[in-house]
Structure 1
Amino acid sequence: MNGILLHLMRHGAPTEPGLLLGHRDDAPLPAGTARCVARAEKLEFAQVFSSDLSRARIPARQIAALRKQTHRADRRWRELDFGAWDGLAPDALDPEVQARFWNDPDACAPPGGERWSQLRARVSDALLGIQRSSLVITHGGTMRAALSVLFGFDHRQVWAFELGYGALLSLRLWPETGGRLPSAQIVALDKDHG
Structure 2
Amino acid sequence: MNKPEPQYYQQQIVLLRHPKPLVEAGICYGQLDLPLNTALHSQNEPILQQLADLLQPFAIQSSPLQRCAVLAKFLAGTHKAVQLDPAWQELNFGDWEGQNWLDIEPQAISAWQQNLADFVLPSGESARQMQARVLLAWQQLLQNRQTSMVLVSHLGVIRMILAELLSAPFSAQLRLKVDYQHGVLLKRSWLAETIAATPVRDSEVWQIEAVNISPQGLVEHLSSDTATQL
In structure 1, the residue matched to 2:61 is 49
Give matches, 1:152-167, under 5 Å. Answer: 152-167=167-182
Distance 1:89 1:33, change over 3 A: same
Query: Do 1:120 and 1:148's aligned partners in 2 also have CA atoms closer than 8 Å?
Result: no
1:38 maps to 47
Residue 2 of structure 1: how far off its partner (Å): 4.7
Of 145, 150, 155, the residue aligned with 2:160 is 145
2:129 alignment counterpart: 118
- Residue 150 of structure 1 contacts residue 183 of structure 1 at CA under 8 Å; is this kept in 2? no
For the structure 1 residues 98 and 185, does the alpha-carbon distance in structure 2 shift closer, same or farther, using more than 3 Å as the test?
A: farther
C-alpha displacement of 1:80: 0.8
- Superposition deviation, residue 155 in structure 1: 2.8
Cα distance, 1:193–1:155 mapped onto 2, change above 3 Å? farther
Q: 1:105 to 1:183 in 2, by over 3 A?
A: farther
Structure 1 segments (4+ residues) deviating >6 Å: none
8 Å CA contact 2:188–2:205 kept in 1: the answer is yes
From 83, 88, 92, the counterpart of 1:81:
92
2:206 is equivalent to residue 184 of structure 1: yes
Rounded to whole Å, the distance in 2 between the matches of 1:97 and 1:80 is 17
Displacement after TM superposition at 1:27 (Å) = 1.1
Q: Structure 2, unaligned stretches of length 5 or more? A: 1-7, 191-197, 217-230
Query: Which one is further off, 182-191 or 8-17?
Result: 182-191
Report whether the alignment pairs 1:24 with 2:35: no
- Offset, 1:4: 1.4
Computing the radius of gyration from Cα coordinates, the structure with the larger value is 2
Unaligned runs of 5+ in 1: none
Supply the distance in 2 between the matched residues of 1:110 and 1:36 (Cα, whole angstroms): 36
State the match for 1:13 in structure 2.
20
Task: Work out the CA distance in 2 between the residues paired with 1:25 and 1:146.
Answer: 22
Aligned length: 189
User: In structure 1, what is the Cα distance between the partners aligned to 2:71 and 2:215?
Assistant: 18
Q: Distance in 2 between the 1:184 and 1:40 partners? A: 28
Counterpart in the other structure of 2:10:
3
| Contact 1:37–1:62 (CA under 8 A) maintained in structure 2 | no
Query: What SS does the corresponding residue of 1:148 show, helix, strand or coil?
Result: helix
Contact 2:117 2:170 in 1 (8 A): no
**In percent, how many aligned pairs have the same letter?**
22
Q: Over aligned residues, Cα RMSD in angstroms?
A: 2.9
CA contact (8 A) 1:50 1:57 kept: yes
In structure 2, relative to structure 1, the CA distance for the partners of 1:99 and 1:152 (3 Å cut) is: farther
TM-score (norm 2): 0.70
- C-alpha distance 38-102 of structure 1, shift in aligned 2 (>3 A): farther
If the length of structure 1 is used for normalisation, what is the TM-score?
0.82
Residue of structure 1 equivalent to 2:5: none
